[in-house]
Chain A
Amino acid sequence: MKKQNIKNIANQKYKFGFKTDIESYIFKKGLNEKIITQISKNKNEPPYMLEFRLKAFKHWLTMPEPRWSCTTYPEIDFQDIHYYSAPKTNPKKENLNKIDPKLKKTYDKLGIPLLEQKKLEGIAVDAIFDSVSVATTYKAQLMEYGVIFCPISEAIQKYPDLIKKYLGAIVPYTDNFYAALNAAVFTDGSFVYIPENTICPMDLSSYFRINTEKTGQFERTLIICEKNSQVNYLEGCTAPKFDTNQLHAATVELVALDNASIKYSTVQNWFAGDPETGKGGIYNFVTKRGLCQGKKSKISWTQVETGSAITWKYPSCILKGDDSIGEFYSVALTNHHQQADTGTKMIHLGKNTKSTIISIGISVGKAVNAYRGEVKISKAATNARNYTQCDSMLMGDQCDAYTFPIIEVNNASATVEHEATTSKISEDQLFYFQQRGIDTEQAVSAIINGFCEEVFKKLPPEFSVEATKLLGLKLENSVG
């Protein structure tokens, strides 16, 4: 009875698990120099890019697969993955009306309309389907403001100077195993350039969709904000239900110059695997890093993580410019067999730099949820300040939550605060609800919502509204 109830709660339905039936051009499985050369060729890349890829690949071959996170999964066979898959009909259409109706329908079903109004309204979208960008909306209109918003494959051809200067500058391929792999095989992603003194006239977003089974998605995103400029960027992702695991290894690099501000939000809703068996689902191994290069620059990461079989990511900030600010706000809900090991790094290099970390983890079913954070105050970072708060909630006795904070202070003028709480939904609490006629599903939502209401007060208001809505949906699904 008790077990049964908890099982029901973990039994959420995934709404985005459909597969689009579309003919695709797919590479043979496997990873070698030939495959990489072929990717580069397909993308019409200039030679410098192929060189970059091959160097990364050589380096990757020397690296062991990392196993230090709080997650368990069988060894990944990197030769058993397709590294390129693209719909046959659509090698990118500038005219949105000419997009394959099947793709258009797919994005409609996902709630991402690929259309433009006359006015700059809503949100500009770069839609990435397996290995290619299939549409980018409002591109021309944004260009009138000098804002470049295009697939990174296009930027590599059109803006080599910017790419050469920044690609791999924030996350070098030597950084880690998946950053190296990504540098070698990345296929598409978004490129954003905001010129000086420009507030981007609309929010930008990328929507990642993995459609083909046994295909890895290796996206690469680069956002550059020049002096006194600003942008809000939103990333979303979903995938069909497959029994096999799919690898999604992305690299995201952000650069903010003097007085520039980037807000990067993620709504991660990859397929999480079968609720009962844990079979299938996405391995989400991502490197995200922002460089606050300029004075008074600001980078803010906000994320709601509800999907993926395994999440492994630490969006970080390097606070190089004096008075720069880094923020990380995260809500991670793990259910049934999901595992999340997530957190951030705040590296304080400049004077008067400030960082805030708020991480909220909710574990249900047999899930594992770990926060891993590093706050480093370097010698030169006089008057640096950090505030960290981690709250976790556990439901049932089969899930786990861990916190691994690392704090390194090399300058005595720094102020570093760390707070952590763990709450648990007990069987007695659930029984109390039941005895009043309220079923366990409703009880769990009420308790989790109550917990969120308390801890969400610490989040920026607009993000807290968003997060509440998303979790509400997720929990609704979980009790449906």
Chain B
Amino acid sequence: MLKIKNLSVKTNNIEILNNLNLHIKAGEIHVIMGTNGSGKSTLAKTIVGHPQFKASKGEILFEGQNILKLAPDKRARLGIFLSFQYPTEIPGVNNASFLRMAYNTHQKSQGHPALDPLEFEDLLQNKLKIANISEKYLDRAVNAGFSGGEKKKNEILQMAVLEPKLAILDEIDSGLDIDALKSVANSVNSLKNKNNAIILITHYQRILNYIKPDYVHVIHKGQIIKSGDKTLAHKLEKKGYEWLITNP
């Protein structure tokens, strides 16, 4: 589904990603770990086309198509979704309308009819259950004044509505209380199927008690320096990154 080949990314003339390679097949869950500032969020934002991060080398193929030249909204409509580490607040824009706007652009690009507010309301009821978020957040402005955890849940609600092929979850578990962590993990599991894939960026092994990854990668200085299965995450939790970095 996703093939990243020799990807290098610079911002403000600083190289952040350096010759990075990653292959993801449909049905897989990949975990990415790494120290602060190692380039995890940069990788996520580069995949979705954030204007601040431009590939200086390499390519990103999504279902065989090089997406590096595509506008971010086009990439999104191909089915690539990013749950942001720090979701942006958008005062004045109603959350429910935002969700419907997003949903309808996807419908349109797939040649399906747009849903009117009432039809969408029906669809939303089910999605609210999956994301385990209260209806009352629909009437508020997108993320405006939401707590850290509420923002994360709202990202999951958007994912539930859009049903992306590839979901990149950047620290979805940071700032969540124990119950919320469990709830978010359950949501992710129920959205997972054999046709879609997930990249899970995290600092903690904790979430992997609920979500079972196929691969765990360690990123350092913009490169993947180690890949393994979920036991790698356990090892990192115990030993930290030191041993890997000094002795890869």
A and B part of one assembly: yes
Q: Which residues of A line the B interface, CB within 8 A?
A: 1-2, 423, 426-429, 431-440, 442, 446-447, 449-451, 453-454
Chain A residues contacting B76 (CB-CB under 8 Å) are 434-437
B92 adjacent to chain A (CB < 8 Å): yes
In the complex, are the beta carbons of A434 and B88 less than 8 A apart? no
Known: A2-B51, A431-B72, A432-B84. A438 touches B91 (CB 8 A): no
Chain A residues contacting B33 (CB-CB under 8 Å) are none
Of B51, B81, B105, the residue contacting A1 (CB under 8 A) is B51
In the complex, are the beta carbons of A437 and B90 less than 8 A apart? no
Known: A437-B76, A438-B101, A442-B101. A431 touches B51 (CB 8 A): yes
Chain A residues contacting B88 (CB-CB under 8 Å) are 426, 428-429, 431-432
Chain B residues contacting A454 (CB-CB under 8 Å) are 91-92
Chain B residues contacting A442 (CB-CB under 8 Å) are 101, 105
7 A-B pairs with C-beta separation under 8 A: A426-B88, A429-B88, A432-B88, A432-B90, A433-B90, A434-B49, A451-B92
Q: Mark B28-63, 1 if CB is under 8 A from A, else 0.
A: 000000000000000000001111000000000000
CA distance A429 to B158 in the complex (A): 16
Q: Give the residue name and chain of the B residue nearest to A442 (CB).
A: B101
In the complex, are the beta carbons of A437 and B73 less than 8 A apart? yes
In the complex, are the beta carbons of B50 and A446 less than 8 A apart? no
Known: A437-B76, A438-B73. A453 touches B51 (CB 8 A): no
Q: Give the residue name and chain of the B residue nearest to A436 (CB).
A: B102
Chain B residues contacting A435 (CB-CB under 8 Å) are 48, 72-73, 76, 81-82, 84
| Interface-centre pick from A423, A428, A433 (highest chain B CB count, 10 A) | A433
Question: Which 5 residue pairs of A and B lie closest in terms of their CB atoms, listed nearest first?
Answer: A450-B92, A436-B102, A437-B76, A434-B72, A437-B105
| Interface-centre pick from A434, A437, A453, A454 (highest chain B CB count, 10 A) | A437
Least Cβ–Cβ distance between A159 and chain B, in angstroms: 50
CA distance A308 to B119 in the complex (A): 42
| Interface-centre pick from A428, A440, A454 (highest chain B CB count, 10 A) | A428
Least Cβ–Cβ distance between A3 and chain B, in angstroms: 9
Least Cβ–Cβ distance between A139 and chain B, in angstroms: 45
Q: Give the residue name and chain of the A residue nearest to B106 (CB).
A: A437
In the complex, are the beta carbons of A434 and B73 less than 8 A apart? yes
In the complex, are the beta carbons of A447 and B93 less than 8 A apart? yes
Least Cβ–Cβ distance between A4 and chain B, in angstroms: 9
Q: Give the residue name and chain of the A residue nearest to B142 (CB).
A: A432
CA distance A442 to B49 in the complex (A): 18
B141 adjacent to chain A (CB < 8 Å): yes
| Interface-centre pick from B50, B72, B77, B82 (highest chain A CB count, 10 A) | B72
Chain B residues contacting A432 (CB-CB under 8 Å) are 84, 87-88, 90, 142
Which residues B93-110 have CB closer than 8 A to chain A? 93-94, 97-98, 101-102, 105-106, 109
CA distance A2 to B53 in the complex (A): 12
Chain A residues contacting B87 (CB-CB under 8 Å) are 432
In the complex, are the beta carbons of B98 and A1 less than 8 A apart? no
Chain A residues contacting B81 (CB-CB under 8 Å) are 435
CA distance A280 to B104 in the complex (A): 39
Least Cβ–Cβ distance between B201 and chain A, in angstroms: 15
Chain B residues contacting A431 (CB-CB under 8 Å) are 50-51, 72, 88
Given A1-B71, A434-B49, list of 5 further CB < 8 A pairs? A1-B51, A426-B88, A435-B82, A436-B101, A450-B94
Known: A437-B162, A438-B105. A450 touches B73 (CB 8 A): no
Known: A438-B105, A446-B101. A429 touches B92 (CB 8 A): no
CA distance A442 to B72 in the complex (A): 14
Known: A1-B51, A432-B84, A436-B162. A447 touches B90 (CB 8 A): yes
Least Cβ–Cβ distance between B169 and chain A, in angstroms: 13
In the complex, are the beta carbons of B72 and A446 less than 8 A apart? no
Least Cβ–Cβ distance between A377 and chain B, in angstroms: 34
Chain B residues contacting A423 (CB-CB under 8 Å) are 91-92
Q: Give the residue name and chain of the A residue nearest to B79 (CB).
A: A437
Chain A residues contacting B109 (CB-CB under 8 Å) are 437
In the complex, are the beta carbons of A439 and B91 less than 8 A apart? no
Least Cβ–Cβ distance between B96 and chain A, in angstroms: 12
Chain A residues contacting B162 (CB-CB under 8 Å) are 436-437
Least Cβ–Cβ distance between A423 and chain B, in angstroms: 7
Q: Give the residue name and chain of the A residue nearest to B89 (CB).
A: A429
Q: Give the residue name and chain of the B residue nearest to A423 (CB).
A: B91
Chain B residues contacting A440 (CB-CB under 8 Å) are 73
Least Cβ–Cβ distance between B100 and chain A, in angstroms: 11
Chain A residues contacting B71 (CB-CB under 8 Å) are 1, 434, 439
Chain B residues contacting A433 (CB-CB under 8 Å) are 73, 90
CA distance A451 to B141 in the complex (A): 11
Q: Give the residue name and chain of the A residue nearest to B76 (CB).
A: A437
In the complex, are the beta carbons of B102 and A437 less than 8 A apart? yes
CA distance A453 to B92 in the complex (A): 8
CA distance A449 to B97 in the complex (A): 12
Chain B residues contacting A429 (CB-CB under 8 Å) are 88, 90
Chain A residues contacting B73 (CB-CB under 8 Å) are 433-435, 437-440
CA distance A436 to B142 in the complex (A): 12
Known: A1-B51, A2-B51, A432-B84. A438 touches B92 (CB 8 A): no
| Interface-centre pick from A427, A428, A434 (highest chain B CB count, 10 A) | A434
CA distance A1 to B141 in the complex (A): 27
Of B48, B72, B93, B158, the residue contacting A450 (CB under 8 A) is B93
Chain B residues contacting A2 (CB-CB under 8 Å) are 51
CA distance A397 to B235 in the complex (A): 47
CA distance A200 to B81 in the complex (A): 59
In the complex, are the beta carbons of B158 and A436 less than 8 A apart? yes
Least Cβ–Cβ distance between A330 and chain B, in angstroms: 19
CA distance A454 to B91 in the complex (A): 10
CA distance A1 to B84 in the complex (A): 21
CA distance A242 to B32 in the complex (A): 58
In the complex, are the beta carbons of A446 and B98 less than 8 A apart? yes
Of A426, A439, A446, the residue contacting B93 (CB under 8 A) is A446
CA distance A422 to B12 in the complex (A): 29
CA distance A120 to B93 in the complex (A): 42
Chain A residues contacting B101 (CB-CB under 8 Å) are 436, 438, 442, 446
